[in-house]
Chains A and B, each alone.
Chain A
């Protein structure tokens, strides 16, 4: 796969999918205007405001693809360093969407490099068959941890597709572009992910 590391903002014609919770892209428009005016006035203050507003968002997007907080933080830092180095070209940028895409690209690129170097694989841990049986009492927090675990155990491409669709709110077309695969493959991987998750999470279903 070609590294998807370029920090390019989503093309202006690309539809930004509305987010289904209250903090949608739309509601934060005044925030963007504020950041843009700060960028003109004082780039250090701009950077501080941008960082403090969006660092968690960037970090969490990366974490969902690379479930290790220390690595996610390192990569999130790199995202903001790239932004800082390009601060003179950000005049038209819609920051939230831009940072989100940069975070996803940074994570995918990291996974890619990791693979090429033959480093430790991300999908460690027992396979689905080896997963322990259902616990007698299931707490909500444990459920979430189990679901994360199940997602992390999906095959790499499958997991990327699922996470990008489920949590990064990306359309199949956007995912296909980011991963350099066809929309058809994205759809196939999506169903594969759901089938595998249904098996590994069967104790929580029905």
Chain B
């Protein structure tokens, strides 16, 4: 009688499923039949009840550190996989990186005599004059490369990272920048492109006119004039941006301005400009809107002091380069 499958199913349903009226009556009748039946049922029920709060004291995951880790992955191209932290995996990965690095070095050495590369490091900006007389201001962590024959045969260069271009007019050879999946074609103008790896490509035209297109090339080209901008998400058509970020050239002009923008935009600007990170635990802070006048040659602490007063928040340096924003 104790191993009656049907009764077991009824008990299982009674405990965590749901019984029909008929099933309920049937179970009730069985319980009345013998005290042992009721004892059996009670044992099951008590076991179920005992386990109710078993996981109340389970470890809490750390949201801040997980969010930080997640953010890094969010900006990587899809599809993404989490790198599982296992020692063997790392050893393999390290070995793979060495192989790739060696291959990359060999490749670079082989190609070296046919192209020119200019690179900036983490805390480095450069101003370059190209063979055609055009000027390039290269922001940190950026790279431009052009093949032999630049100026005489072509004016095409590749950009990784961010650069401001002041282009010499030359109707014979349009000046073309390939950055990420974007192509920007100009005659004579000045503009800035921000194309860091795994981020959307952003363009701002300062003077003149440019044609800006995505990986489908000219089919979806946007023609943009001075003062306008565009953004290109990976694999999509470029889109004109209505509101220009007034700090787009901050890295070159060394001037920051915050004119009634929400705090999250300000923090993004500061992250870019000062190469730091902000952690905001309370998302309600993100939309605080405030005004702060222009900063020339700003220093981080000076800007933070103004923000703390203007937005009424606390900003503390948690560890080198990482700041926590709280109430």
Contacts and interface: CB of A to CB of B under 8 A. Distances in A.
The residue in B9, B73, B78, B85 that gathers the most chain A C-beta atoms within 10 A of its C-beta is B9
A198 B43 contact: yes
A205 interface: yes
Contacts of A194: 12, 15, 44, 47-48
Interface stretch (A22-30, A97-105, A163-171): A163-171
Contact of B53 (A52, A73, A78, A144): A144
A45 interface: yes
B123 interface: no
A123 B214 CA distance: 52
Contacts of A69: 59, 61
B16 A55 contact: no
Nearest to B54: A147
A71 to B, nearest CB: 8
A188 B55 contact: no
B61 A172 contact: no
Contacts of B54: 144, 147-148, 151
B237 to A, nearest CB: 15
A157 to B, nearest CB: 14
B50 A201 contact: yes
Nearest to B80: A81
Contacts of A171: 17-18
Interface in A21-59: 44-45, 47-49, 51-52, 55-56, 59
19 contacts: A44-B74, A48-B67, A55-B63, A56-B63, A60-B55, A64-B58, A69-B59, A69-B61, A74-B85, A77-B70, A78-B82, A80-B70, A141-B57, A144-B55, A144-B56, A144-B57, A188-B12, A190-B12, A198-B43
